[in-house]
Amino acid sequence: MEFRALGTSDLKLSAITYGAFAIGGNMWGGNEQKDSIESVRASIDNGVTTLDTAPFYGFGLSEAMIGKAIKGYDRSKLQLLSKFGLVWDGSNQGKGEFFFDAEENGKTIPIYKYASKANVIKEVEESLKRLDTDYLDLLQIHWPDSSTPIAETMEALETLLQQGKIRAAGVSNYNLEQVKEARKSLHIVSDQVGYSILNRSIENDLVPYALENNLGIIAYSPMERGLLTGKYFQEGKLKENDHRNGYFQQFDLEKVKAFLQTIEPLAAGKNASLSQLVLRWTTLQPAITVVLAGARNAAQAIANAKAMDIQLTPDEIGFINTELSKI
């Protein structure tokens, strides 16, 4: 495994970071808790020291399972990354910015973006309890909240830094202007954003800024929620309550399928899967500090970790990029 410094912080994160959205179950058609916990432990046992989660993932379930999974490991050698700012239980008392309606067990649950100072402090205490730890290595706002001044949210993060409850502060889903605004109040060290072989829009502005200003970029959805594994084109069926039924429709699926078929021989020649090849390509892109990879079981977790064993030459990266231009 390769370990990389996150921005100007003293954090060293594993280049492949465990992404814990799917094990929360909500929006993913459910989960098997035993398999999920085993996937976390298999990741750690294969060199993945960094785990990224959020209260919203499973409405607390993802954090709770990670708390269980890491028992018995040296906490000082792990990096726990979590978030705040998505409220679902009415504790915002009608404040905040409405985001969307989630479905859980047949119920509609309104989700709000809410990042007031008081709410940030409250959420962190709840996260620490679920994760069974007394500090987070990185805390990130989950989504921008237009109802709360960025400066107020940053003030909360500064308080938590001073209290020692977090080691570093970052943001998630912030555009470049929001990052600049946040940095006027607090030196955030990272931005977690969607980035994949099919979604490279941040290369236009955020990546150049990150390179010039030592901002870490944590890339999520590198596999486009499983589309780039190629399995969807073989099986093509998802559970009815799986959000990906709609998510995948944003892509030209025939072109994506053709692209994957073109690069598959390259993966096979390296005794790797398409998933591993795509993950490795993503880790090699400019300004990308770490790449989040989800896993629902131990086998997937091990495969993700071993993606870092793949060596890609400049010519091979050029070949992939040339084929990408055809999509």
The residues annotated with a catalytic role in the active site are 57
How many angstroms from the chain centroid is the CA of residue 290? Answer: 9
Angle made by CA atoms 127, 19, 66, in degrees to the nearest 5: 40
Is the CA virtual torsion 281, 11, 114, 128 positive or negative? positive
d(CA 67, CA 115): 24
What is the amino acid identity at position 5?
A: A
Alpha-carbon distances of 100 from 97, 112, 244, rounded to whole Å: 10, 7, 16
